[in-house]
Amino acid sequence: MTTKTRKKPTVEEIRKYAMENYANGGDVIVEAMEDEEIKAEFLKGKKSAKQVWEAVKETMNIQEEQRAVAQSHADQNHEKEEENMTNKEKVQQQVAEEVTQEVEKDKEEIKKMEDALAEYPWLWDYWWKTVEVDQDKYTAQVELTGKGGYFIRILPGAKVEEPIQSCLLLDEADTSQRVHNIVIAEENSEARIITGCTVNPDVEKGLHLGVSEFYIKKGAQLTFTMVHNWAEDFHVRPRTGIVVEEDATFINNYLLLKPVRSIQSYPRAELRGQNARARFNSIIYGQKESELDMGSLIELNGAGTRGESVSRSLGKEKSQIMMRGKLKARSNDAQAHLECSGMLLSEEAEMNAIPELWVEGAPQADLTHEAAVGPVSEESVEYLMSKGFDRDEAVSAIIQGFMQVGIEGLPDVLNQMLQETFASMTNGF
């Protein structure tokens, strides 16, 4: 009788077998076989394939026990956090839950991000898709230590008449807020969102890190208005990405009317679908020693895409303002316009405008820009004074006209605040 010697499997064969037959452990086997010590022992015959597998299973069991212990500790810590919640925090949580319950369920969904991720496993497909997690140290910190944020979803075909309002509040001094938000406007939906970021009046210093991802589906229309109202020694680092699909429209309004230590913001909108549209409107008021690096990027990739970015900046006292804007076209029939305009009300204020037009493989694309930085026109002031205005009234009228960029749909209280801020801009000028 002839005895056949079974051929010893190769490392590659073990990897393939593991991935095909051990759904929950194949990747661990592959990782184990990548270990040089284990691989050497296997190739020298000191460890059989079975022994490798047994060692891996033991490792997996240990890891599972460690995960169970870690989860138990996490559950205990969560219970302690609930016990230690202040009355104020309990009231805030109750209000948030009541607001969520009052949402028209047939039109929109508003949830805390943690709750949304737990309820909708498909939401992970939208997680870190428009903003790269390793874009910079701020996005990395949000991924590693982030907590909180909101999930807003406009249901298919829904027409939401009243603005959806949200607010991110930082209530503790000398700390950082690290949130991740996702907004989805489903096909053929329409909505307006007005959101604000602010701090407790007692908070003077801190850091806000906010990642926001927007998905505007086919035929949807979304207007998103952000009002920043931070403390004078606050640093702000939002990171925003938007995808706009076929026949969809995204309008972004940004208002900064209060002093802040520094802001660095450069939202990116990708017009992916045919006839997709995007518009950025920015009103920026630099005061005291604020350092503001603001801009936007519109990528026109789909056929017939249209984009517009309009920025109005006012520099006062020792503020420093960097106005950036970039249009990038990859479609021959894409059209877009970029406008960066700034007005200086102080000899110590600094302002730079950096418009960029980029065409890649689309020689017929039509991109235009205009940029201007200067003082209040004395000729315009004298003209208004000749019509009966005093100097302050004339300057105020010029500034108010300059800062108008056509933001529509604001609530009356926000419009009133905007006009009052414009009127006060001439104080000390």
The partner residues of 403 in beta bridges, in order of sequence, read none
Residue 322 and residue 192 share a domain: yes
Q: Which residues span the domain enclosing 123?
A: 94-424
Residue whose C-alpha is closest to residue 225's, from 421, 415, 425 = 415
How does DSSP classify residue 136?
A: S
Q: Per DSSP, which regions of 272-361 are E strands?
A: 277-286, 291-294, 297-300, 306-315, 320-329, 335-344, 350-359
So what's the pLDDT on residue 6? 44
Structurally, how many domains does the chain consist of?
Answer: 2
The answer to whether 325 and 359 are in contact (CB under 8 A) is no
Q: Count helices and strands (H / E) in the chain.
A: 10, 19
The answer to whether 262 and 290 are in contact (CB under 8 A) is yes
Q: Which two tokens stand for residue 284?
A: 């920026």
The answer to whether 376 and 395 are in contact (CB under 8 A) is yes
In a domain, 205, yes or no: yes
Up-side HSE of residue 98: CA atoms within 13 Å toward CB?
Answer: 6
In a domain, 314, yes or no: yes
Instruction: Please state, as a whole number, how many other Cβ atoms lie within 10 Å of the Cβ of residue 127.
Output: 16
So what's the pLDDT on residue 10? 60
In a domain, 82, yes or no: no
In a domain, 127, yes or no: yes
Backbone dihedral region for residue 361 (phi beyond 0: left; psi -120 to 50: alpha; all else: beta): left
So what's the pLDDT on residue 106? 80
Evaluate if pTM is beyond 0.85.
no
So what's the pLDDT on residue 53? 55
**CB burial of residue 198 (10 Å; 0-12, 13-18, 19+):** middle
Residue 101 and residue 20 share a domain: no
In a domain, 410, yes or no: yes
Residue 111 and residue 189 share a domain: yes
Residue 120 and residue 59 share a domain: no
For the chain of 429 residues, list the mean pLDDT of each consecutive stretch of 10.
49 57 48 57 57 57 58 61 54 51 73 95 96 94 93 97 90 90 98 91 92 98 94 95 98 94 97 98 95 98 97 96 98 97 95 97 97 94 93 88 78 77 69
Residue 321 and residue 207 share a domain: yes
